[in-house]
Chain A
Amino acid sequence: MIDARPASGRRLEWQVAVVCDIAVETPRVKTFVVRVDGWQGHSPGQHVDIRLTSEDGYQAQRSYSIASPPEDELIALTVVCVDDGEVSPYLHRDLRRGDKFELRGPIGGYFVWTTAAGGPVQLIGGGSGVAPLMAMLRHRERRDHHERAMLLYSSRSVEEIIYREELAAMAGRDPDLRIIITLTSQQPERWAGYGRRIDKAMLADVCFPPETNPRSYVCGPTPFVESAAQFLVELGHDPLSIKTERFGPTGG
């Protein structure tokens, strides 16, 4: 985990984001596509901080992963509505096209994958943890990259699969990409895929062999990431090749 780079010493300034589009992904998830003039670009896997300001000057900040690839001009933020949250319910219920809020980033230089990395890559996402992994997959496709890649995506039900159609289309276009979905709570009739939480046997089935030195990216709720990363280690994957991003229960 030693990707050290010199500090730039340049402050990440707050910038104004203008909402260009709002897409309903699932009943609890929306993607907000924003334009930030003078945006410096990002790497797939990075996140941003956003800041809301109320009329009486109160401010709240939260971090959200970028789901769009660096090749896009606009930035897509995929946000789960946390019912008792402070920021996400506002974004979901009140935010309209043309509205503005503040944003700064990109943040995080570690949970990042670009096509320059080489070798197979395996992405393991739980719930909305798929968002930064989607930035990686979109980047991969835009660069016409043909190293092997795999996404194992754990969702409670079909209805809760984020980017469902885009993922299906992507897998259909790209023979070097495998997308495997496991539905942990509700499976449709005649569902032929996995229907359980990610476990060691499933990872042994779908992951690249450790000898091929895949890079692993695991993102999701804490217990999901803890167990998936632990299984990967037990299956013989080098702990230093496994990068994790945990979404706490209070992402609100």
Chain B
Amino acid sequence: MNDSPISRGFRSPRQTDNLGNRIPPGQYLTRDFPVLSAGPTPHRSLDQWSFTLGYDGTLLDSWTWSQFQDLPQTNITADIHCVTKWSKIDTMWQGVTFDDLLRAAGLRAPPAPYLMAHCDGGYTTNLAVDDLVGGKGAVVTRYAGAPIEPVHGGPARLFVPHLYFWKSAKWVRRLSFMETNKPGFWESNGYHIRGDPWKEERYDGD
């Protein structure tokens, strides 16, 4: 980066709070909660909502909204990082961890190394199972103590905070295991296949 042209008069901001090590490269801190999605916000009523785990066309398990609420609930506080450059710290969510979902489905081990998340509205995103197990991923239904608003992904969104936030797919309905890693929606539209903010994996080829 030595050959980056210097912008005369452009200065680094005074760091008022000591957050340097919590903000990945190229990101900036926001207090708001910006919204990004590719199409209209779907509005799904809870009695028409279900959540499904599948593998190769086979149904592994499925839950209605109330069944899903009866699964073990975990509170998660984490920093989130959007590929559009904002980061938000100490966000608080509640939901069911991926580990608990596997347990509830009676799976001792994940049946395949990758999965595709499918959402209302047609959105998809791919993930490695390794990025979800061990408490790293969850399906969350509450944000800051209240049900997640539709605009932020409610009734339920995936939550994988150690990856860029497009991986935390809004309006998630189904996780389908797959043997090989295939790109989802943004991953087919120029974005990185994994999306680790600390490696700044924003775009394809980063």
Contacts and interface: CB of A to CB of B under 8 A. Distances in A.
Interface class of chain B by DSSP: loop
A248 B38 CA distance: 14
Nearest to A230: B40
Given A8-B204, A53-B1, A53-B5, A3 B188 contact: yes
A58 B26 CA distance: 10
The bracket for how many chain B residues form the interface is 35 or more
Given A244-B38, A246-B36, A56 B12 contact: yes
Interface stretch (B27-35, B139-147, B156-164): B27-35
Contacts of A252: 28
Contacts of B11: 54, 58
A201 interface: no
A16 B151 CA distance: 37
Contacts of B202: 49
A190 B129 CA distance: 62
Nearest to A9: B205
A61 B7 contact: no
Contact of B6 (A14, A55, A107): A55
Contact of B188 (A5, A90, A94): A5
A212 interface: no
Contacts of A90: 7, 9-10
B34 A52 contact: no
6 contacts: A1-B121, A49-B202, A102-B4, A226-B41, A246-B36, A250-B30
When A and B form their complex, which 9 residue pairs have the shortest distance between CB atoms, in order from nearest? A248-B34, A58-B12, A11-B205, A109-B189, A229-B40, A4-B188, A100-B5, A53-B4, A61-B26
